[in-house]
């Protein structure tokens, strides 16, 4: 619960609710004191009509103010909940971006989506209902019990004894429900991830005739979520029963003791009636807290996963500016491990300013790991990557990436227009600059043939374009970025001969005057490169080829 209380805006909300609870306590006492006085005056005839009229007016004012305070509390809580959701969702997204694609690749997309979208929503019940309810439950009952203790010591002792007992019972039931709520959240995350995986792999499932089998697995996951949810609800109903039973029994006990002494003449009517009116008010905040306890369990389960993500250390979070001048990049005895697997071992290489390096090797040799290190998506386990003599880990990652253009093997195109996808390279680029970049990437011709030219929607992941067209849009992004360092990851591996020739010509133009790192399975692409380095098993294999 403590990590959730550290969420932005929760403590100010708790302080505001504490102040409202103190005012509400005074209004509760005033309201029921007036009711007791009015009833006593009407039925026992001890008050003048003018006094009763004044009491009715005062009661109406107190009731209006108390109702207004309830509205104020709800508005404050709703605004705080909206603020917390926005802040937490923003922090999660920002931190996931700083963790980089290497972290995201190790997670299931559906679970992360569920965490960012639904997990933040689960905080609304905690902030909007449970926090105000817990503050009111901590302030109102003790003050009301002390008031009753002053009015009637025996009734006050009953409330002071039964109140903590009910709270302890609620805590015990809540402890049982906590594990069930965590299991519910994990099951929901798995269900969401399975659904996303099914959608992504739907063509494969249909082709191999496994769609019905996958549907059965999804139904099984849905049934598991239903069972876990019912378990959480059963625990919630149990906590509600414990609370209602304890509150009803305690109120009845107070009523019996007060009634006996009233009958015996040991208590005046007005005081006895006031005690009976205050007893339900004593348990009202506890009842409300019990009703909202389920929201806190859901928020705690989601929050635990959120804080686990937020506590992940992001790679390369230095703050130094990128050194001025032409960039010289050096790998010095770099070793990189993913868990227990070693991807690179004692790799040393140099990219002088304006040079072109071709990195070749079989799949799993460590080529992509070199690109990840250079992009700042990973940090060396040992050794160092240096830029003009400064450790890359000490540089501001955002500033460093502004000096880099990256063309992956399978470029990702976002839903939107051709123009919007090219403009990712430089968001402030003009339309003329976008067209110029497309011409340089040999993409303008096919774009001009599209239905709406640069305003054509490309579809999810560029589904409406061919592989060569998607790659040329990625090259147009790189041209538009006009960065000093260019990283090309298998730029022609997915292309036919005709498209490959067009892309090679565009790559040749793009690499002019830049430092280029090209990753490929084929050493035959050595033309135009200053040096070729082959990786094998994460090590640099000798000899190193050099071409002028």
Cα-based torsion angle of the residue sequence 410, 414, 418, 423 in order, rounded to the nearest 10 degrees: -90
The predicted model gives 251-260 an average pLDDT of 89
- Predicted confidence (pLDDT) at residue 85 exceeds the cutoff of 90: no
The confidence score (pLDDT) of residue 495 equals 62
Rounded distance between C-alpha atoms, residue 396 and residue 399, angstroms: 5
Distance, CA of 366 to CA of 360 (rounded, Å): 9
Backbone φ and ψ for 365, nearest 5 degrees, come out as -75, -20
The pLDDT value given to residue 548: 39
What's residue 17's pLDDT?
92
Per-domain residue ranges of the chain: 91-310, 329-546
Q: Is the pTM here over 0.85, yes or no?
A: no
Query: 111 pLDDT exceeds 80?
Result: no
C-alpha to C-alpha distance for 260 and 272, rounded to whole angstroms: 10
Section 332-359 average pLDDT: 87
* Angstrom distance (rounded) from CA 199 to CA 530: 44
Whether residue 487 contacts residue 406, with contact meaning beta carbons closer than 8 Å, is answered with yes
pLDDT of 92 over the 60 cut: yes
Q: How does residue 183 score in pLDDT terms, banded at 50, 70 and 90? A: confident
| HEC-encoded secondary structure of 447-469 | HHCCCCHHHCECCHHHCCCCHHH
Q: How confident is the model at residue 30 (pLDDT cuts 50, 70, 90)?
A: very high
**Burial tier of 391 (Cβ tally within 10 Å: 0-12, 13-18, 19+):** middle
What percent of the chain has a predicted confidence (pLDDT) above 90? 14
* Region at 515 (left for phi over 0; alpha for psi -120 to 50; beta for the rest): beta
Count, residues in the chain: 548
Q: Each residue of 508-536: b (16+ CB within 10 Å) or e?
A: eebbeebbbbbbbeeeebbeebbbbbbbe
Determine the pLDDT at residue 547: 42
Contacts of 227 (CB under 8 A, 6+ apart): none
Window from 85-94, 153-162, 191-200, 489-498 with minimum mean pLDDT:
489-498
3-state helix, strand, coil in the chain (%, to 5): 65, 10, 20
86-95, 143-152, 176-185, 448-457: which is most confident = 143-152
CATH 3.40.1190.20 matches 329-546 = no
Question: Is pLDDT at 546 greater than 70 in this prediction?
Answer: no
pLDDT in tens, 472-525: 888 888 888 888 888 888 777 666 666 667 677 777 777 777 888 888 876 555
Residue 115 near residue 103, CB atoms below 8 Å: no
The superfamily (CATH) of domain 91-310 is: ABC transporter type 1, transmembrane domain (1.20.1560.10)
Strand partners, 545: 532
In the predicted model, what is the mean pLDDT of the chain?
82
- The answer on pLDDT for 52 being more than 80 is no
Confidence of residue 282 (pLDDT cuts 50, 70, 90): very high
Q: How confident is the model at residue 45 (pLDDT cuts 50, 70, 90)?
A: low
């Amino acid at each position: 619960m403590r990590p959730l209380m550290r969420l932005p805006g929760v403590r100010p909300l708790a302080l505001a609710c504490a102040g409202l609870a103190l005012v509400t306590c005074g209004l509760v006492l005033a309201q029921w004191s007036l009711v007791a006085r009015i009833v006593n005056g009407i039925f026992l005839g001890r008050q003048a009509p003018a006094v009763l009229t004044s009491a009715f007016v005062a009661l109406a004012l107190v009731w209006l103010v108390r109702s207004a305070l309830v509205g104020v509390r709800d508005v404050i809580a709703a605004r705080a909940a909206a603020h917390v959701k926005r802040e937490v969702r923003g922090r999660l997204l920002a931190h996931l971006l700083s963790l980089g694609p290497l972290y995201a690749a190790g997670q299931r997309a559906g679970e992360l989506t569920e965490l960012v979208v639904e997990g933040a929503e689960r905080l609304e019940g905690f902030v909007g209902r449970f926090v105000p309810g817990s503050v009111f439950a901590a302030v109102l009952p003790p003050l009301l019990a002390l008031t009753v203790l002053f009015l009637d010591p025996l009734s006050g002792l009953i409330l002071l004894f039964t109140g903590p007992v009910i709270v302890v019972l609620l805590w015990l039931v809540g402890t049982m429900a906590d594990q069930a709520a965590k299991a519910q959240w994990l099951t929901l995350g798995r269900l969401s991830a399975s659904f996303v995986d099914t959608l992504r792999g739907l063509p494969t499932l249909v082709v191999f005739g496994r769609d019905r089998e996958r549907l059965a697995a999804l139904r099984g996951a849905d049934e598991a979520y239903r069972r876990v949810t019912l378990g959480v609800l059963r625990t919630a109903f149990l906590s509600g029963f414990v609370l209602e039973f304890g509150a009803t029994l305690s109120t009845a006990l107070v009523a019996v003791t007060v009634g006996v002494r009233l009958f015996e003449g040991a208590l005046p009517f007005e005081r006895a009636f006031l005690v009976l009116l205050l007893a339900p008010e004593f348990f009202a905040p506890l009842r409300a807290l019990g009703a909202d306890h389920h929201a806190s369990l859901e928020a705690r389960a989601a929050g635990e996963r959120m804080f686990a993500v937020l506590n992940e250390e992001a790679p390369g979070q230095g703050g130094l500016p990128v050194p001025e001048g032409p960039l010289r990049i050096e790998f010095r005895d770099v070793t990189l491990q993913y868990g227990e697997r070693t991807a690179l071992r004692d790799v040393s290489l140099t990219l002088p300013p304006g040079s072109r390096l071709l990195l070749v090797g079989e799949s799993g040799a460590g080529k992509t790991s070199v690109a990840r290190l250079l992009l700042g998506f990973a940090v060396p386990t040992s050794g160092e990557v240096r830029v003009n003599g400064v450790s890359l880990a000490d540089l501001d990652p955002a500033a460093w990436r502004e000096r880099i253009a990256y063309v992956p093997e399978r470029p990702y195109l976002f839903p939107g227009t051709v123009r919007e996808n090219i403009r990712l390279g430089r968001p402030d680029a003009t339309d003329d600059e976008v067209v110029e970049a497309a011409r340089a990437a040999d993409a303008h011709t096919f774009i001009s043939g599209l239905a709406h030219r640069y305003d054509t929607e490309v579809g999810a992941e560029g589904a409406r374009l061919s592989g060569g067209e998607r790659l040329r849009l990625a090259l147009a992004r790189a041209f538009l970025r006009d960065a000093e360092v260019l990283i090309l990851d298998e730029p022609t591996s997915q292309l036919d001969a005709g498209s490959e020739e067009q892309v090679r010509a565009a790559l040749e133009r793009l690499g002019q005057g830049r430092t280029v790192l090209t990753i490929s399975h084929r050493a035959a692409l050595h033309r135009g490169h200053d040096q070729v380095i082959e990786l094998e098993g994460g090590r640099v294999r000798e000899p190193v080829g050099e071409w002028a």
